[in-house]
Chain A
Amino acid sequence: MNDMRLTERAVTQTAKITARGVQVHYGTNHALKDVDVDILDKTVTAFIGPSGCGKSTFLRCLNRMNDTVASARVTGKIEMDGQDIYDPRVDPVQLRAKVGMVFQKPNPFPKSIYDNVAYGPKIHGLARGKAELDQIVETSLKKAALWNEVKDRLSAPGTGLSGGQQQRLCIARAVATSPEVLLMDEPCSALDPIATAQVEELIDELRAQFSVVIVTHSMQQAARVSQRTAFFHLGHLVEYGETGHIFTNPTDPRTEAYITGRIG
């Protein structure tokens, strides 16, 4: 890979997740070919690339969401804090509590705003009593910059919020289980520019607590929010490095072609 220089975008150098030789097959379709990546702690990492390039597939490997797809087969090694997450002793359900996920389309549960956020803490038994649960809900909603808008109607259905609010509710829901890594699969693709700006701002704030991995189709967004960028093409990881470096001085001709708009 490229030299990982320290830039003005201060990042820690500790790797949170290390992936080596990851391959994914959906049935006979070889979706991801031999991917090696180090995701750094307390950093926003962006995955960019044209549709069908394998970036979402790789994201879903990091919390073993591919286990829920019957035809998917994952090989290779992914370690989080030195622990192989595909080890048979690892419970995928526990793993997903530590690696939160936000999806492309806001998908609030058909429950109240409060219950949406309290869902994760409840199933993992994170709160000892109602007061503590209330506290978790409030903190999570504040972290997701939604508290002020919904604090008076916590019992209203989460589906009644606007699209941008719904997506921030989903972020609050993911934050509530106190994950160590937050995966975001095109979190802004269903949002208008104002809601997108709010979510991007939020991502930057969340970086203080978690390592954030975001899949995006918008190169501007990748450039705005991330410190590290990985470019995927046809199932290969083409280039991975410091965001400014990828956008201004890409090493691989394919990366350059993509960011200048010649492939995609």
Chain B
Amino acid sequence: MNAGLLLLLLAGLGALGFLAGRARALSLVRGDARGLHSLPGYYGQTVALFAVVPAFLLLLGWLLLQPVLVERSITAMILPADIASGSSRELVMADVRRIAEGMERLVATGALNEGELAALVPQPDLLKDRLSAAGVALAAPIQPHIAEAATAWRAEMALGQGLMALSVLAVAVTGFLWSLWRVAPGFRARNVVERFIRWMLIAASSIAILTTIGIIFSLVFESWHFFQLYPARDFFLSLTWSPKFGGGSDLGIWPLLWGTLYVSFIALLVAVPVGLMAAIYLSEYATPALRAVAKPAIEVLAGIPSIVYGLFALMTVGPFLRDWFARPMGLGDSSSSVMTAGVVMGIMLIPYVSSLSDDIINAVPQSLRDGSYGLGATQSETIRQVVFPAALPGIVGAILMAASRAIGETMIVVLGAGAAARLDLNPFEAMTTVTVKIVSQLTGDTEFASPETLVAFALGLTLFVFTLGLNILALGIVRKYREQYE
């Protein structure tokens, strides 16, 4: 029995549970719902919830755990002799999985029955032919031992599926019967449902947190691998970035970090003033009719994919800056530059800053504006001295959010600033950022155990720590000022 059918069964059991619980509650008081502690529907809900939710969680956990356990037991079957030179245990396991899947397909399409398949296992060449006929192409000839492992894999998976169906159904039926037995006029079904819902909400919010923790752990783990192969001192202190896949690379983070900060700085230099002024115009000066048109128009900018901005940087802004600024000023001859990427990224960030700040400025109470006008202040005095300071914590938050985005942006940098890691002050020089290098270190035909690829995780971790620090700073600022300005 597969998971889809099980889910369907669970849903049916839930519906049945609702009706049964409701009916039993009503029959206990002879149809007079006033004798019950809760509305009859709540009794139905408790039965449905206890029938479905624990069983569903078990199903979910089983589906996640079973492949891991089966993999572990089959991996133990593989002998060192099965691993060809140049190959690895992981690659052999991948073959085992593919063969097992191919066998499954052969049986499912009716090309073979189980008996014929079992007969094929000692004849690897025949098996290989049948598999390739079913669309599973294998490079190397199949070792007999591997075919056995694949058979064992299939057997264990099938056993697991059967056990899963049994135990899930057992849990569902137990929950169903137990909660149905619990139904009594004095049973506080309403409170039970309330508690149940609270626990489901807690579970939902912990998924987000657990995922974050999981991501951090995987980053830390891989970074630790990297620092085993490459000294942390060099990574954090070296000023050169020149990965060589033959070995002997210099993997200093500073050129990349510098590029990231430089590009983000220029982007914010563009986005913050323009975005803020746009927000102030929209919220304080624009007529409602104009605002209704202009605000969505600015927000359209936020919907443009960043690769389109990258093209804009590559084709338009880069050559323009080169021909009109860099060359006449003698600052360089390259159309990809920090300036190009920064300016285009700044344009991309304008709607983030303006839209968020606009909402925040609008939230400043009208009474403060009235107070200021009532003292004879002009509109711009009011905005500068009263509205803006009151909105400041929110605006700082908006700017730091834009900064986090700037730091994480990749496409615009690839197309606008190039891929050369360099430590330079000249903004018309090509540079690159941490994110671009993470991509370039992980793409391409490289093995996953060299410092040159693992460095990507250390870079990612550094970036993560960096933006985390930024967010904590933002929270701190917002909290500090919020106490002062209520």
Contacts and interface: CB of A to CB of B under 8 A. Distances in A.
Contact of A94 (B372, B376, B390, B486): B376
A65 B484 contact: no
A119 B375 contact: yes
Interface class of chain A by DSSP? helix
Nearest to A95: B376
B374 A93 contact: no
Interface stretch (A30-38, A106-114, A251-259): A106-114
B374 A101 contact: yes
Interface stretch (A17-25, A169-177, A203-211): A169-177
Given A97-B375, A174-B375, A68 B370 contact: yes
Given A110-B390, A110-B484, A120 B376 contact: yes
A177 B375 contact: yes
Interface string A122-149: 0110000000000000000000000000
A110 B370 CA distance: 14
A105 B287 CA distance: 27
Interface residues of B, number: 22
A98 B375 CA distance: 9
B396 to A, nearest CB: 14
A157 interface: yes
Contacts of B109: none
Contacts of B87: none
A251 B89 CA distance: 105
B368 interface: yes
B389 interface: yes
A96 B376 contact: yes
Interface string A67-110: 01010000000000000000000000111111011010101111
A159 interface: yes
Contact of B373 (A65, A70, A170, A173): A65
Nearest to A98: B376
Interface stretch (B31-39, B73-81, B157-165, B378-386): B378-386
B484 A157 contact: yes
Contacts of A63: 374
Contacts of B373: 65, 68, 96
A124 B372 CA distance: 12
B85 interface: no
B485 interface: yes
B228 interface: no
B485 A100 contact: no
Contacts, number: 77
B469 interface: no
A124 B369 CA distance: 17
Nearest to A108: B371
A120 B389 CA distance: 16
A46 to B, nearest CB: 19
Given A70-B287, A123-B381, A109 B374 contact: no
A63 B372 CA distance: 13
Contacts of A101: 370, 374-375
A105 B366 CA distance: 11
Q: Which of A101, A107, A119 has most B Cβ within 10 Å?
A: A107
B2 interface: no
A58 B226 CA distance: 75
B4 interface: no
A157 B485 CA distance: 8
A25 to B, nearest CB: 19
Q: Which of A94, A123, A157, A174 has most B Cβ within 10 Å?
A: A123
Contacts of A94: 376
Contacts of A124: 376
Nearest to B365: A107
B389 A110 contact: yes
B367 interface: yes
B57 interface: no
Nearest to A70: B287
Contact of A174 (B369, B374, B484): B374
Interface in B378-402: 378, 381, 385-386, 389-390
Contacts of B371: 103, 107-109, 170, 173
13 contacts: A68-B369, A68-B370, A101-B374, A107-B371, A109-B371, A109-B372, A110-B386, A110-B486, A111-B389, A120-B377, A157-B485, A159-B486, A174-B375
Which 9 pairs between the two chains have the least Cβ-Cβ distance?
Answer: A97-B376, A110-B485, A101-B374, A96-B376, A107-B367, A120-B375, A107-B371, A110-B390, A157-B484
Interface of A: 63, 65, 68, 70, 93-98, 100-101, 103, 105, 107-111, 119-120, 123-124, 157, 159, 170, 173-174, 177
Interface of B: 287, 365, 367-378, 381, 385-386, 389-390, 484-486
